[in-house]
């Protein structure tokens, strides 16, 4: 109930401020090639985190970048939002919402954003879907801890939260991995491979 209340508050705040967030369903083509080790939805590790969805029909507005000026990256070098938009435009997602506030992300997803140098997080609006685009750059000394946290969330999500046909399809195509420049990604979509390839192309391009 606590987590549901957090995201009801997020949606209510967005509606009151008159903001809207709209993600494009058109594919953005970028040339190049990248290298990353993906883990498909079939793997299982110790599970933590929560998979809860936001029910409703409005997307939460957001702008700007998610991370503070911590770690080795400057603001100009932060790319999480860019990579997230690449993924969202590479394949057709249902209506998605961007979650911005670190304390809300920590409470709902059971993440520790204090260990992130940069992040961008989108999730499905309607609970019949199970879509995520999560891009995270760990702080230099927190890589292993952050990857383990995200992998546990990924495994829990695809193992314990896929009930409807659309959710099962998204779980089957889900991907987790890391870009050559150190961004960990989770893409939960039936064609997650295409979204990952678009990110890798952007990295190498």
Cα–Cα distance between 108 and 49 in angstroms, integer? Answer: 8
CB 81 within 8 A of CB 66: yes
Residue-level pLDDT at 77: 78
On whether the pTM is more than 0.75, the answer is: no
Sorted by where each begins, the domain ranges of the chain are 2-21+43-59+75-204
Residue-level pLDDT at 3: 54
Q: Decide: helix, strand or coil at residue 124.
A: strand
Give the single-character DSSP code of 188. Answer: E
pLDDT mean for each 10 residues of the chain (205 residues): 51 42 39 43 39 39 42 65 98 97 95 98 95 98 98 97 96 98 98 98 91
Residue-level pLDDT at 205: 77
Residue-level pLDDT at 6: 53
Cα–Cα distance between 93 and 144 in angstroms, integer? Answer: 30
Alpha-carbon radius of gyration of the chain = 16
Nearest to 96 by CA among 24, 175, 169: 24
CA distances from residue 151 to 29, 48, 70, 201 in whole angstroms, order as listed = 28, 9, 23, 23
Residues in the chain: 205
> Which residues make Cβ contacts (< 8 Å) with residue 4, sequence separation at least 6?
52
């Amino acid at each position: 109930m606590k987590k549901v209340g957090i995201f009801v508050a997020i949606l209510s705040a967005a509606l009151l401020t008159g903001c809207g967030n709209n993600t494009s369903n058109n594919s953005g083509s970028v040339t190049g090639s990248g290298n990353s080790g993906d883990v498909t939805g079939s793997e299982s590790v110790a599970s933590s985190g929560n998979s809860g969805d936001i029910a409703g029909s409005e997307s939460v507005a957001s702008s700007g970048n998610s991370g503070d000026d911590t770690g080795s990256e400057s603001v100009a070098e932060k790319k999480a939002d860019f990579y997230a938009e690449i993924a969202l435009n590479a394949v057709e997602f249902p209506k998605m919402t961007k979650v911005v506030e670190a304390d809300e992300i920590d409470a709902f997803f059971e993440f520790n954003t204090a260990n992130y140098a940069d992040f961008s997080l989108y999730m499905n609006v309607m609970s019949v879907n199970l879509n995520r685009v999560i891009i995270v750059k760990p702080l230099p000394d927190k890589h292993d801890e952050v990857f383990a946290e995200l992998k546990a969330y990924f495994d829990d999500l695809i193992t314990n939260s896929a009930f409807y046909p659309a959710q099962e399809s998204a779980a089957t195509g889900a991907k987790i991995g890391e870009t050559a420049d150190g961004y960990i990604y989770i893409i939960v979509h039936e064609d997650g491979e295409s979204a990952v390839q678009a990110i890798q192309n952007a990295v190498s391009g």
